[in-house]
Chain A
Amino acid sequence: MTSVRDEPVAVAAARPAAGTRWAPAMRHWVIAAAVAAALVLPLATSSFVTFQITEVIIYGLAILGLNLLTGFNGQFSLGHSAFYGIGAYTTAILMHNYDVAYYWTVPAAGGVCFVVGFLFGLPALRLQNLYLALATFALANAMPQILKFHALEGWTGGVQGLVVDQPDPPDFLSMLSGDQWLYYFTLAVALVLFAVAANLIRSRTGRAIMAIRDNPIAAAAMGINTSLYKTLTFGVSALFTGVAGALGALAVAFVAPDSFTIFLSISLLVGLVIGGVGSIPGCFIGGLFVLYVPNIANSVSTGLAGAIYGIILLLVIFVMPAGAAGFARLAAVRLGRLRRRDIA
């Protein structure tokens, strides 16, 4: 499930795990192999690559948050940069102004974002589709302005932002570098949250959440409290993205209003679609895309980086209209057919 590595082979191997009819045993092996690979990765690569993969996991987690809301519950959001930012600022403010230890700030960020997300979900109940998109778009655009607001400057550091100390590894792990420790810390948080998400989706609650996406009126008729589930999903989604924001603040060791603009929301949306809407492992493919593709575009042409990025994006959408997860599903089906033919 946590199929995040930079070796393309391993990523490809992990893909079919996305909701195919593979034997459960096979699925477990793939997950175990992925986790094992993730565990040894920092020992095999430079600290810079470790840092990059840490960021990939963080973006993957943020995309997972968005996926819970958009992919599984059918509520469109362009406002997740705001939740990411609130998470990041919660960590930064707690560490900078109140000297709270970094590991406590992560659940705190999740809690704050859950509350904010839940509250935002209340008015959002009345809005659908594009109207909801606009409301969340508004939230994303308002966030940097609020962070800069002079009355909050004592907390947020205003336009200058806040510096966060990068966490040191605990004493019993002092052989690890700061980057390696942060990687393992992030990986651990991500694994927990992914397990939570996977179980949530398979539970009764998860089925209710998806029923609302597929047909809200029918879901309500079946006795699902759609308002409650929708606002709760909003809260949980914000929680996931907020935790990602908190980890992002630790990784980058700095927060500023300019880090959390609408363009971050757009990146997360792109990651969601590229990875596959409604796919949990796809979130990490999305994370890889969000981090690496701008770098690839940059290496093709610095001046035209934006245009190259756009072209790559279009090509990917043409080839995989339903994202990597959809592509993998299709490939698995085709492969299965071929194999059956071979056997016959």
Chain B
Amino acid sequence: MELLLQQVMAGLANGAIYACMALAVVMIYQAIDHLNFAQGEMAMFSTFIAWQLMAWGLPYWVAFMLAVVASFAAGVLIDRVLFRPVQKAPILSQVVAFIALFSILNSSAGQIWDYTVKSFPTPFGHKPMFGSTLIDTHEAAMIGVTLGMLALLYLFFRGTRLGLAMRAAAANPESARLVGIRVGWMTALGWGMAAAIGAVAGMLIAPIVFLEPNMMLGVLLYGFAGAVLGGLTSPAGAVAGGFAVGIIENLAGTFIPYVGRELKLTIALIVIVIVLMFRPTGMFGRRVVSRV
């Protein structure tokens, strides 16, 4: 029982990492209607920028804010410079452009900052939470920040004109254009927000997994899984999906005898695919009705 509780908590802590990433994944999905394979590398690069700023002597929160702002700007720039030209191209060509971006960011980060792991500070510390060893303060704070971002996004999309305009632009660009929404800028804004959320995610994840150019490879994999499991149309679903993936994976690894640890990734993925077969648009996703 003790072990079960511990593994669930460790799963929640890992799940917070995935949830954070899944939120960024869903954000960009809302803006441009497909997944961004370079999302993880963008977050990694943002985190390195924050790390560099701190290495130059800036205090944590200044570096944090600057990195978020810079990431937002970079997100807008990527949309304008890289994805504008291929906007009319087939979807698969756009996916390949994401792959190119992935490759460029990963390789440049390695060249600039090297591949050794770097510790990334956290303002929350790594102390046991409430005197228990189940979860530490940083992990608890991370869950809190993820839920906080989720609430803010909810308010933004439901309660502001801009949020509504963004949703309209993503859901139906033609109609949105007719009612006077500048669809191009809404997409760019979506990119910026996704990049900024990714930056926050990266800076929350780095203190746990350590900062290095390949730190996001696995996280992105699970983040995608979480987002898809929860439903790509639902930020709350994505966060729930992220936590679910973290817990499933840990429990499979610990409690399934013989195959568990070695095949835990495989088992987690099978569970997700099975869930998707019964809920083809994710646990909280909307069903899309198509017209002939």
- A residues near B (Cβ < 8 Å) are 70, 76, 123, 126-128, 130-131, 133-135, 137-139, 141-142, 145-146, 148-151, 215, 217-218, 221, 266, 269-270, 272-274, 277, 303-311, 313-314, 317-318, 321-323
Please name all residues of chain B whose beta carbon is closer than 8 Å to the beta carbon of A145 when the two chains form the complex.
Answer: 262-263, 265-266
Q: Is B86 an interface residue (CB 8 A)?
A: yes
- Beyond A130-B228, A306-B103, A318-B85, whether A146 also contacts B96 by CB under 8 A is no
Please name all residues of chain A whose beta carbon is closer than 8 Å to the beta carbon of B149 when the two chains form the complex.
Answer: none
B275 to chain A, nearest CB (A): 10
Please name all residues of chain B whose beta carbon is closer than 8 Å to the beta carbon of A142 when the two chains form the complex.
Answer: 263, 265-266, 269-270
Q: Is B178 an interface residue (CB 8 A)?
A: no
- B residues near A (Cβ < 8 Å) are 34-35, 82, 85-86, 88-90, 92-93, 95-97, 99-104, 106-108, 110-111, 221, 224-225, 228, 232, 258-259, 262-263, 265-266, 269-270, 272-273, 276-277, 280-282, 290, 292
B271 to chain A, nearest CB (A): 10
Q: How many angstroms from the CA of A138 to the CA of B97 in the assembled complex?
A: 22
Is A269 touching B107 in the complex (CB atoms < 8 A)?
no
Other-chain residue from A131, A135, A150, A218 in contact with B281 (beta carbon distance below 8 A) = A131
Q: How many angstroms from the CA of A70 to the CA of B95 in the assembled complex?
A: 13
Is A131 touching B228 in the complex (CB atoms < 8 A)?
yes
B232 to chain A, nearest CB (A): 6
Is B97 touching A317 in the complex (CB atoms < 8 A)?
yes
Closest A residue to B35 by beta carbon equals A130
- Beyond A149-B263, A314-B97, A318-B85, whether A215 also contacts B103 by CB under 8 A is no
Please name all residues of chain B whose beta carbon is closer than 8 Å to the beta carbon of A317 when the two chains form the complex.
Answer: 86, 89, 93, 96-97, 100
- Beyond A131-B228, A317-B86, whether A218 also contacts B269 by CB under 8 A is no
- Beyond A141-B221, A217-B290, whether A313 also contacts B90 by CB under 8 A is no
Q: How many angstroms from the CA of A311 to the CA of B102 in the assembled complex?
A: 11
Closest A residue to B104 by beta carbon equals A310
Is B280 touching A270 in the complex (CB atoms < 8 A)?
no
Closest A residue to B97 by beta carbon equals A317
Is A266 touching B269 in the complex (CB atoms < 8 A)?
no
B272 to chain A, nearest CB (A): 7
Please name all residues of chain B whose beta carbon is closer than 8 Å to the beta carbon of A307 when the two chains form the complex.
Answer: 103-104, 107-108, 111
- Beyond A305-B107, A311-B104, A314-B82, whether A269 also contacts B96 by CB under 8 A is yes
A119 to chain B, nearest CB (A): 13
Of the candidates A130, A137, A150, A217, the one having the most CB atoms from chain B within 10 angstroms of its own CB is A130
- Beyond A127-B280, A138-B269, A318-B86, whether A150 also contacts B262 by CB under 8 A is yes
- Beyond A137-B224, A141-B221, A150-B262, whether A310 also contacts B100 by CB under 8 A is yes
Please name all residues of chain B whose beta carbon is closer than 8 Å to the beta carbon of A274 when the two chains form the complex.
Answer: 96
Closest A residue to B266 by beta carbon equals A142
Please name all residues of chain A whose beta carbon is closer than 8 Å to the beta carbon of B111 when the two chains form the complex.
Answer: 303-304, 307
Give 18 pairs: A residue, B residue, CB < 8 Å, sorted on A.
A76-B92, A123-B277, A127-B277, A128-B280, A130-B228, A138-B269, A145-B266, A148-B262, A150-B262, A151-B259, A215-B292, A217-B290, A269-B99, A273-B95, A308-B107, A309-B107, A314-B104, A317-B97
Is B103 touching A138 in the complex (CB atoms < 8 A)?
no
Closest B residue to A120 by beta carbon equals B273
